Chains A and B, each alone.
Chain A
Amino acid sequence: MSASNENETNINGINLIAVKQLFDQCVDVDPSEWPSLFGQSQCNEVEIIQVEELLALAANEQQHSQHESIISQQLQDLGQKMMPNQRLGPYQIEHEIGRGGMGIVFLAHRADGLYEQKVAIKITPSFASQEELQRFHLERQILAQLQHPNIAMLLDGGTTPDNRPFLVMEYVNGEPITSYANSHNLNLKQRLKLFCAVCEAVNFAHDCLIVHRDLKPENVLVTDEGKVKLLDFGVSKMLQSEQLSGNTTMQQGLTLAYASPEQVKGERSTTATDIYGLGALLYELLCATVPHPVKTNSPEQAIQNICLKEPLHPSQVVGKTAQPLHYKALKGDLDNIVAQALRKEPVLRYASAIDLQADIQRYLKGQAVLATPRGHWYRLTKFVKRHPISTALAGALVMALNAGLIISLNLNQQLVAERDQLQKTQIKLEQQVVTADQVIDMLTDMFRAASPNKAQGKVLTVDDLVNTALAQIQTSLQDQPEVKSRLLTVLSDVHYYVGKDQKAVELLEQALTLKKQIKGALTAVELGDLGNRYRMAGQYDNAEKYLQQSMTLLEQTRETSVLDKIKIYSYLGLYYNERSDFEQALRFFTLQHQHWTEQPNEEIDPGATGVRYNLANSYRQLQQQQKALEIMTSVLADRQRLYGKTHPKIVETLSWLAGAYMENNQMDYALEASSHSYQLAQKLFEPNMNRYFESVITHAEVLMAIGEYQQAVALFAAEITPAVTNKRAKAYYDAFLSTALLNLGDYQQGVVHARQGFDILNPIYKDSIAFMYEVQSSYGLLAILSDTDIKQGTAMLQTLYAGCVKQWGEQSQRAGLIMHYLGISELHKGEFTQAQAYFDKAAKTFDQVYDANHKQRGALAQSYGELYMAQRQWSEALPWLQKSLTIFGKSQAPGTLPITLVNAMQAEALWHMGDKRQASVLLKRHGDTIINQVTTESVYHQYTIGLQQLISTNDNR
């Protein structure tokens, strides 16, 4: 044994074999026997101490999971590694550029040659369930809309083959803001200006209801051009909806040095968390250190400091060290600003990033800042002491709503679409929810209901949340009408945002009635709000009543602010627009635009593009296409500049332009705009969102305008799925599909879809001819052509014609088109004289409203041809058919139905005139093309087959 002792002794002079032997002897016996076993052993003192330690550890079971967890963490980590050149979708990984608690970031580039673009791909750790993947997908939709010049854009996302989600972000080649400031020797003013840009970006995110939660220099880069870019929103927001309970996983991925008190305590993060993050960032920009430096060996101490200790003022820090900034410049205002952003209590910080920014700007202009030393916070602290929970919960409510929504898919989509509006609700809540124990109780209940713990296993809807609150408000607060009125207003908003228009208007009416009782009268804006809400609920009588009152009041009172005027004018414009009184709409939108140019408010409508959009819209409705297009192309350019090229507003603008180009017979432009819009919509929207289906409809309209009817039918076949639950979307898809089928000659199918669409839309829009025009015209004509209900169809077309004349005048495109349709139905009935009269009338109108090559004139020429052929006047028909072909040749794609069909008609006419050879040639060339494009249900199918039989009989003879 002694010989082996020397051989087996390790570097520390310990014989491990002996240690293990002694350990094995002792481990299964009672500790009281250990001393004697130690005495008998050959181990030296050091070895015995080691054995004692090991035995103590063996008794402590807890220690052991540690090894497994270290190993499995490594394995997980390794599993996330991407190899250089590995492909993820269209992206090729170049190399790793960063990693942290919440994932790994790789530099990559597009490998499909579509764009030369470097991107950063963030791969998150594995997700557990299908549900979470789905949630991730929804989050991506939200993030996709987070487009701001100072925020690194989310470009794409997807899942790896093993189901791990990844995000593709714009790759920003820049320097962390603090090191940028130092390496460029920025002075105080330059630093503050840079910081203001950060505030703006953070504020934009907050407007989108997204909290960053991890603001720190590494996430705030400055590019070579000096432009600020915020990074890493993706993970922050995903965390948001993930785990809300206060366990440690919530803290993963946070950097302690920049974490807020509520974060280290594992409490809910709100927008105030980012205000703290901004404060920490500003602190470091000013004095080159973080508010609470973290020593790696004592995170506990750091956490305690963050939660309890007031950091030194920047001026004090600078005073101690030789920093480029002088402490005199920091002392006072800047110290106060930083301190207010870094308050331990979220409610005591700046209410928003914009408030923080505004205070800095006041400082830069030499004005008095709002931030004050802590002692002067008497009033607010007093308020908070009185109502500590209500204030905190006010903010929590909307976050809770947001979290709840993620669970309920449909409502979530609506809310995502309207989330900027919801942000306004949040602000209102913060401003207005003030007192009363009942309020606190109510909010507490809602808050609890929204927590994922409660929601687990069942679908929690916004309805559930709001109804709980509503029931409580309506039965309580009798003695506090003011609070009640305010809360009802907020809940009215919430109802509106989730699509319950009727309930929304009802609640607002209640709220304002209460208000009127308290204050005696309502303001112009309040009346306007109510009128507008009635408009949105489709109750036009009430809408008009209140809007008129609002307008009257506006004219009487001098003190209405310009912003309020703008608001009321836009309500009126929207109202008249919806009632199809476009002259009036234009009048109010013009007023709105005038006031706007006097006092632009970039926060509400950057570049006034929204105002100009409405204006262009009115011009378009008034058939002043050139003017409308002029305004809107400038809106598109401004919006692309302001929002980036992939943004919901761009979809809307492109769709609009596609429609207007189409009306102006500029088909190439129209198709380009509508395809682009449709592609963007697929990327940005869920199928049930209004903006999605509007884009689909526009694209279909353009396809039909160039004669690609089967493509339009294919588009609808792809879009009409059981997943589409939006009623309006369904109705419009049906309506437009019926128009496509009408043109393809499939009247039976067409009339079915037309009726479906009509039945949904008519109850909602029966007063608004602009909304009903499409579905009513195709339903009317199809009812006749399919012989379903000739009488009703005729009546519908005649009513519609009268409506068009009233709305747009006799010499308008729409009136002309209905006249043409009336002619077609007379022709179908065999009333040739009447048909001719209608066609002649339509022709007169078309001469005035369309240029010579417009498709519609080609269609009319075709109808004349049909009219003569129906009367067996073959030679009279021919020149019309020829004219029709010439016109179609200008706008219709070659080989599309209108062109081939007229060729077949020519063949028929020629055959009857005796030119059987020419007829046969023409039909051979075009007959099968027609048959390939239409279904067997189509009248054109039957017509062509019949014609082929007729003409081939002749061949055989």
Chain B
Amino acid sequence: MMKDKDGGSLELTEQLYQELKGCANRILANQNANLTLQTTEVVNEACMRLIESDSKFNDKAHLYRSAAKAMRHLLIDHARAKATDKRGNNAVKTAWMDDLLSGTDENIGLIVIDQTIDEMQSISERLVSIVELHYFAGFSQPKIAELLSIGLATVERELKFARSFLSQRLQHQE
């Protein structure tokens, strides 16, 4: 993408940027409709990574998959950095009540999710794509089916497995 600097690639960058912004907003909207967020910063960074990855996009599905992957990497890096911090700085004293009550450390949680998705790689690339598009780009199941040109039933079945698999790995953490 960085190789040819004509108008077309710039357009792609802008499109990519909008897609990433969409990813972030969808993830948040699924959780809490009221949140406002400094998405710009997050999206900028994800975008930069994608551009630096220097890949070419064959089609729209490819672009979406790349965007979701970029978001995944961005979040996991952030979680890793924080997890290191927590272990480093008086870990016992800053045991926040909400962390304790929720039962899961969200940093470790994300790291587990990331590892689990890596594990799914051994099952199929398609499964990974579906999971990433669903969790890190916030797409609905019909939309994922449309993007990957597969049946809705397939998406539903794959996600059913993925959810249980993720839940299991999260339960077994530590």
Nearest-Cβ distance from residue A510 to partner chain B, whole angstroms: 48
Min distance, Cβ B118 to any Cβ of chain A, angstroms: 10
B164–A57 CB distance below 8 A: yes
Top 3 A-B residue pairs of the complex, sorted by shortest distance between their CB atoms: A128-B34, A299-B100, A70-B109
- Using an 8 Å CB-CB cutoff, how does the interface string of A162-186 with B read, 1 for contact, 0 for none? 1110000000000000000000000
Type the 1/0 row for A82-110, where 1 means its CB is closer than 8 Å to any CB of B.
Answer: 01000000000000001111000000000
Contact of B95 among A57, A160, A296 (CB under 8 A): A296
Interface residues of A in 224-252 (CB under 8 A from B): 248, 251-252
Which A-chain residue is minimally distant from B75 (CB atoms)?
A: A74
Task: Report yes or no: A257 in contact with B75, Cβ–Cβ below 8 A.
Answer: no
| Cβ–Cβ contact B164 & A10, under 8 A | no
A248 touches B31 (CB 8 A): no
Residues of B within 8 A of A254 (CB): 96-97
- Give the contacting residue for A255; candidates B35, B94, B104, B124; CB below 8 A: B94
Across the interface, B168 reaches (CB within 8 A) one of A10, A54, A81, namely A54
Is A66 a contact partner of B24 (Cβ separation < 8 A)? no
CA gap between A53 and B94 in the complex, in Å: 34
**Is there contact, CB below 8 Å, between B27 and A71?**
yes
Cα distance, A16 to B119, chains bound together (Å): 8
Q: Is A294 an interface residue (CB 8 A)?
A: yes
Set of chain B residues within 8 Å of A57, measured between Cβ atoms: 163-164, 167-168
**Contact, CB under 8 Å: B30 / A23:** no
Q: Which residues of A contact B37 (CB under 8 A)?
A: 75-76, 79, 126, 162
Complex Cα distance A58/B164, Å?
A: 5
Given known A10-B122, A78-B42, A253-B98, contact A23–B167 (CB-CB < 8 A): no
A76-B35 contact in complex given A64-B163, A70-B104, C-beta closer than 8 Å: yes
Which A residues are in CB contact (< 8 Å) with B101? 248, 251, 299
A64 to B167, CA, bound (A): 7
- Describe B's contact surface by its main secondary structure: helix
For the complex with contacts A83-B41, A216-B93, 8 further pairs of A-B residues with Cβ separation under 8 Å are A20-B161, A23-B161, A66-B167, A70-B104, A71-B110, A74-B107, A254-B96, A294-B95
Selected contact of B163 from candidates A16, A67, A83, A255, CB within 8 Å: A67
Question: B1 on the interface (CB 8 Å rule)?
Answer: no
Query: Which residues of chain A have C-beta atoms less than 8 A from B104's C-beta?
Result: 66, 70
Q: Which residues of A contact B (CB under 8 A)?
A: 8, 10, 16-17, 20, 23-24, 27, 50, 53-55, 57-58, 63-64, 66-81, 83, 98-101, 126-129, 160-164, 216-218, 248, 251-257, 259, 294, 296, 299
Which residues in B have their C-beta under 8 angstroms from that of A58?
160-161, 163-164
Over the window 109-127 of chain B, the binary record of Cβ atoms lying under 8 Å from chain A Cβ atoms (1 yes, 0 no) is 1100100000110111001
A524 to B110, CA, bound (A): 71
23 example contacts (A-B, Cβ-Cβ < 8 A) are as follows A8-B122, A10-B119, A23-B161, A24-B157, A24-B161, A54-B165, A57-B163, A58-B161, A63-B164, A67-B167, A71-B136, A74-B75, A74-B106, A76-B37, A99-B82, A127-B36, A162-B38, A252-B97, A253-B98, A255-B93, A255-B97, A256-B100, A294-B100
Q: Is B145 an interface residue (CB 8 A)?
A: no
- A68 and B157 contact, Cβ closer than 8 Å, known pairs A83-B41, A253-B98: no
- How far in angstroms is the closest Cβ of chain A from B29? 9
Instruction: Report yes or no: A17 in contact with B122, Cβ–Cβ below 8 A.
Output: yes
| Contact status B160-A76, CB under 8 Å | no
Question: B61 in the interface, Cβ–Cβ < 8 Å?
Answer: no
CA distance in complex: A155, B125 (Å)? 54
Residues from chain A with a CB closer than 8 A to the CB of B123 are: 16-17, 20
B-side interface residues, number (CB < 8 Å) = 54
**Distance between A221 CB and nearest chain B CB, rounded to angstroms:** 14
Contact A79 B106 (CB under 8 A): no
Asked if B51 is at the interface of the complex by the 8 Å CB criterion, the answer is: no
Q: Which of A64, A68, A69, A126 touches B35 (beta carbons < 8 Å)? A: A126
- In the complex, A162→B34 CA distance in Å? 13
Contacts of A69 in B (CB 8 A): 31
Which A residues touch B41, using CB under 8 A? Answer: 79, 81, 83
Q: What are the residues of chain A within 8 A of B9 when measuring CB–CB?
A: none
Smallest CB separation, B113 vs chain A (Å): 6
A58 to chain B, nearest CB (A): 4
For A161, the chain B residues whose CB sits under 8 A away are 38
User: Is the CB–CB distance between B136 and A63 below 8 Å?
Assistant: no
Interface bits B9-51 vs A (CB < 8 Å: 1, else 0): 0000000000000001001101110111111111000000000
| Complex Cα–Cα for A77 and B39 (A) | 11
Task: Tally the A-B contacts, defined by beta carbons under 8 Å.
Answer: 165
Q: Smallest CB–CB gap between A940 and chain B, Å?
A: 54
* CB of B99 within 8 Å of the partner chain: yes
Which partner residue on chain B sits nearest A50 by CB separation? B168
Contacts of B100 in A (CB 8 A): 256, 294, 296, 299
Q: What residues of chain B lie closer than 8 Å to A248, measured between beta carbons?
A: 98, 101
Which A residues are CB-close (under 8 A) to B63? none
Cβ of B147 within 8 Å of any chain A Cβ, yes or no, is: no
- With contacts A79-B42, A255-B95 taken as known, whether A163 is within 8 angstroms of B36 at the C-beta atoms is yes
B42 and A75 contacting across the interface, CB-CB below 8 Å? yes
Cβ–Cβ contact A251 & B135, under 8 A: no
A54 & B161 in contact (Cβ 8 Å cutoff):
yes
> Could you say which residues of chain B place their CB within 8 Å of the CB of A50?
168
Which residues between 58 and 78 of chain B lie within 8 Å of chain A, taking CB atoms?
74-75, 78
B94's contact among A54, A75, A218, by CB below 8 Å, is which? Answer: A218
Beta-carbon contact of B75 and A71 below 8 Å: yes
| B76-89 near A? 1/0 per residue, CB < 8 Å | 00110010000000
**B166 interfacial contact with A, CB 8 Å:** yes
Give the Cβ gap from A259 to chain B, nearest Cβ, in Å: 7
On whether the beta carbons of B113 and A71 are closer than 8 Å, the reply is yes
CA distance A378 to B40 in the complex (A): 62
B53 CB, min distance to chain A CBs, angstroms: 19
Contact present for A164 and B97 (CB under 8 Å)? no
Chain B residue nearest to A59 in the complex (CB): B164
B148 at the interface (CB under 8 A from A): no
> What CA separation (Å) do A123 and B157 show in the bound complex?
42
Taking a contact as CB atoms under 8 Å apart, the answer to whether A74 and B78 are in contact is: yes
CB distance from A136 to the nearest CB of B (A): 13
* C-alpha spacing A64/B135, complex, angstroms: 11
Residues of B within 8 A of A99 (CB): 82
Residues of chain B with a CB closer than 8 A to A296's CB: 92, 95, 100
Q: B95 touching A72 by the CB < 8 A rule? A: no
Interface residues of B in 130-171 (CB under 8 A from A): 135-136, 157, 160-161, 163-168, 170
Docked CA distance A67–B41 (Å): 23
Q: Which of B31, B97, B100, B122 has the most CB of A within 10 A?
A: B97
Q: List the A side residues contacting B161 at CB < 8 Å.
A: 20, 23-24, 27, 54, 58
Question: In the complex, A127→B34 CA distance in Å?
Answer: 8
Q: Which interface residue of B74, B98, B119, B120 has the most chain A CB atoms within 10 A?
A: B98
Is the beta-carbon distance between B36 and A162 smaller than 8 angstroms?
A: yes
Distance in angstroms from A781 CB to nearest chain B CB is 56
Min Cβ gap A16→B in Å is 5
Which residues of the partner chain A approach B157 to less than 8 Å between Cβ atoms?
A: 24, 27
- Asked if A100 contacts B94 (CB within 8 A), the reply is yes
CA distance A98 to B75 in the complex (A): 19
Minimum distance in angstroms from B161 CB to a CB of chain A = 5
Q: Which residue of A lies closest to B45 (CB)?
A: A78
- B79 near A63 (CB under 8 angstroms)? no
Residue from the set A75, A126, A164 with the largest chain B CB neighbour count within 10 Å: A75
CB closest residue in chain B, given A61: B163
Residues of A contacting B42 in the complex (Cβ-Cβ under 8 angstroms) = 75, 78-79
Taking a contact as CB atoms under 8 Å apart, the answer to whether A128 and B97 are in contact is no
State A101–B40 Cα separation when bound (angstroms).
23
Least CB separation from B86: chain A residue = A99
